[in-house]
Chain A
């Protein structure tokens, strides 16, 4: 017989305990303490019980079937607290977040469980009850604010819309509140920014306006769905701090959805780890980060720990770019200015920078898609013609490329064998049984089974697709592969697998990589030398050890200090040191 004092435990925990010890029909637990000293749902804002969500899918050539997206997930959220939902794509994070508003995207349906918000099950209040709750009790902040704002209306009109709709304020009051929120979220021109249209405001600012829009009707709960994922790392830190402070100051509760554990560690009180629609682990942020219980959580926490010793490479540069200047519109807009780089045989040169820094343009120039306005490219000791059409088949073979979106880089109507076999036919004229043997060999190299040879790209997972693209590049036996953000679209664990594979292939085949990325963690794990780009120029270039050690130039310092670290309190420190620095200047 257990004896429990009401003052010692949470309501939820007690219910669970009671359930567990009720097994033989005998109550094995007795509860002591005054009943009214412990009002049942006093603090609980949201209580999701045994949630089950299904979707109807229409596989080509088959009859429609139902798939389970979320299975038996329960969670509770107290007023004013922040719960982080973390997991890979397909884990059901967004689906659960939207379910807390009673909303399912497309054919998604909540088929089981309860969603108790403010003491009532919102799955039972009907469509009109749900409409009264959305935008009033719960608000939503989407990943891409640029897509989430209506291009036809001014920002202010959209920010105050929910508050006006639900009759919570007059227009004048709502607009006044919106301006105060703009100010709180650190938006410039807070008085007038509301008069602009969405396309007139930058991505980071738009994300803040979206947060202000959610806060404007003073909801009890905000669902943040990857609000900083689409932003550059140096913008992300500011937006993250603005969101975190706004949550703190207004006392609103939040569900914060992200795939980045380091980000969620900065804002959440508690974290829920999900995988394939099921709950993996739940705990306080501190515990999940520092002492994860489950194997999967441990893998998530240690995701970027790849051991790669800096390889100093051979002496001959395989690629040597000198003074490359390139641009669009007959050079009216210069995207690259005087870029020089050397890449040695069997080495990885990481080109890192934010969007708009010219990284992808550099790849276009090297591959000959965009002839440079000035400068030259030496490849394997010979001059490379600037235009793709002037290059020999041999030049083309030695320089291969892997793209960010494996999905669109493959013909959806060709099988894996055709896709990988094509370079073999084109460059080496290998056909028939010999080709099939080589394809099988390549599939083995990318750690995929032979039986996948007859599949179509649509039948592969994201990671598998990227592996097929790697095999296709490898089939040409190139000296250099340009990897353009090859892991950006992948989940961290899958991306990790791809990076390990690339390193393994480099050791086996001696191929050099020009690795374009915005992700400094990836750079740390695989680069031998690094070139940091900013507004079309190389601001820092050298071996990895040197580039990543102080003293830094201001931009590299900013970039490095913006990468979230998996450490509670990192955001505060980073923001404080940034503010102090700008005050010192």
Chain B
């Protein structure tokens, strides 16, 4: 058990290191953006004096590395600063948006993860038959299309033609829980279709890869039906790689939703980042990017820990 605590400790340390490097890259990247926030905010007609004054008030005249350390320090204190566009506190601005994005991601995950696991097992059970091939073709086709295309197809069929779901997902604090669910249905479905294939294929491959093992033969020679051989004897050993892929896809659900949120006008973090880039609202862009990066790191960490916890050889040394 001691060694596991050590491994997890190491992973956490690496995660923190990654986040720090990411913060450097984000900051450097934003510096490289063409144009200047002060000119952008004041417009073409601003006099050089007003621009210089604004630059000074925004702290843009201080050398970049000093601004970086200032930024890093305030983030570590939980202070993301204020938005340039409207002067609101960024943490306050992000909070409801993050909640919306997480809710959307969770709904997509609730649809896609069980489907992927069941589909993967069915595909492995009927491997190399018509059923397997059909599942293969459908899922591969679904990831081959860009997300916005899937989104528009779903809108066409479910919103325009059938008219059962709204094509706009405009929600706010006042929306009821049921209203939220209906509003989120289409974006959640789109995301689920997009991430399903990867998880499903991985589940199938991980299970099929284990079928050559001697213990699978042992299970078959006990007279177990094939589905029990897969679920009881192959699946527990395949959970490590499957969990990794699921978690990576969850991370994608949170960070990759930008396009889908824009298509459905869903007030999530993706929308916010797109708006802020347009407005050159640098502090907001930086904060959102950092949250995305933190989500990735955190979920990867979860995947690592999960695959350790699910391996009895690591959990119970001799």
* Assembly CA distance A484 to B222 (angstroms): 38
Flag if B215 contacts A147 (CB, 8 Å).
yes
Known: A144-B214, A149-B215, A150-B237. A197 touches B313 (CB 8 A): yes
| Nearest A residue to B218, CB-CB | A148
Convert A159-170 into 0s and 1s, putting 1 for each residue whose CB lies closer than 8 angstroms to a CB of B: 001100110000
Asked if B36 is at the interface of the complex by the 8 Å CB criterion, the answer is no
Flag if B220 contacts A149 (CB, 8 Å).
no
* Assembly CA distance A148 to B220 (angstroms): 11
Known: A134-B221, A150-B233, A150-B237. A200 touches B318 (CB 8 A): yes
Flag if B214 contacts A142 (CB, 8 Å).
yes
* Assembly CA distance A166 to B221 (angstroms): 13
Flag if B221 contacts A140 (CB, 8 Å).
yes
Asked if A199 is at the interface of the complex by the 8 Å CB criterion, the answer is yes
Instruction: Give residues 137-180 of A contacting B (CB, 8 Å).
Output: 139-140, 142, 144, 147-153, 158, 161-162, 165-166
| Nearest B residue to A150, CB-CB | B215
Asked if A136 is at the interface of the complex by the 8 Å CB criterion, the answer is yes
Convert A123-138 into 0s and 1s, putting 1 for each residue whose CB lies closer than 8 angstroms to a CB of B: 0000000111111100
Note all chain B residues with C-beta closer than 8 A to A468.
Answer: none
Known: A131-B223, A165-B223. A151 touches B218 (CB 8 A): no
Cβ of B157 to closest chain A Cβ, rounded Å: 41
Note all chain A residues with C-beta closer than 8 A to B221.
Answer: 98, 101, 103, 134-135, 139-140
| Nearest B residue to A196, CB-CB | B316
Asked if B225 is at the interface of the complex by the 8 Å CB criterion, the answer is yes
Asked if B86 is at the interface of the complex by the 8 Å CB criterion, the answer is no
Contact of A151 among B215, B220, B223, B232 (CB under 8 A): B215
| Nearest B residue to A146, CB-CB | B214
| Nearest A residue to B318, CB-CB | A200
Convert A239-268 into 0s and 1s, putting 1 for each residue whose CB lies closer than 8 angstroms to a CB of B: 000000000000000000000000000000
Q: Which of B214, B215, B232, B236 has the most CB of A within 10 A?
A: B215
| Nearest B residue to A131, CB-CB | B223
Asked if A105 is at the interface of the complex by the 8 Å CB criterion, the answer is yes
Flag if B236 contacts A153 (CB, 8 Å).
yes
Flag if B237 contacts A152 (CB, 8 Å).
yes
Number of interface residues of A (CB under 8 A): 30
Give the interface size bracket for B toward A.
20 to 34
- B contact face: mostly helix, strand, loop, or mixed: helix
Cβ of B75 to closest chain A Cβ, rounded Å: 42
Note all chain A residues with C-beta closer than 8 A to B313.
Answer: 151, 197, 199
Note all chain B residues with C-beta closer than 8 A to A150.
Answer: 215, 218-219, 233, 236-237
Asked if B278 is at the interface of the complex by the 8 Å CB criterion, the answer is no
* Assembly CA distance A105 to B217 (angstroms): 9
Q: Which of B215, B223, B225, B233 has the most CB of A within 10 A?
A: B223
Note all chain B residues with C-beta closer than 8 A to A148.
Answer: 214-215, 217-218
Flag if B312 contacts A199 (CB, 8 Å).
yes
Flag if B312 contacts A134 (CB, 8 Å).
no
Cβ of B279 to closest chain A Cβ, rounded Å: 53
* Assembly CA distance A162 to B225 (angstroms): 11
Contact of B237 among A101, A151, A162, A200 (CB under 8 A): A151
Flag if B222 contacts A165 (CB, 8 Å).
yes
Note all chain B residues with C-beta closer than 8 A to A105.
Answer: 217
Instruction: Give residues 56-111 of A contacting B (CB, 8 Å).
Output: 98, 101, 103, 105
Instruction: Give residues 165-189 of B contacting A (CB, 8 Å).
Output: none
Q: Name A residues whose Cβ lies closer than 8 Å to a Cβ of B.
A: 98, 101, 103, 105, 130-136, 139-140, 142, 144, 147-153, 158, 161-162, 165-166, 197, 199-200
Q: Name B residues whose Cβ lies closer than 8 Å to a Cβ of A.
A: 213-215, 217-225, 232-233, 236-237, 312-313, 316, 318
Please list 9 pairs of residues, one from A and one from B, whose beta carbons are closer than 8 Å in the complex, sorted by A's number.
Answer: A130-B223, A133-B223, A139-B222, A142-B217, A148-B214, A150-B237, A152-B312, A165-B223, A197-B313
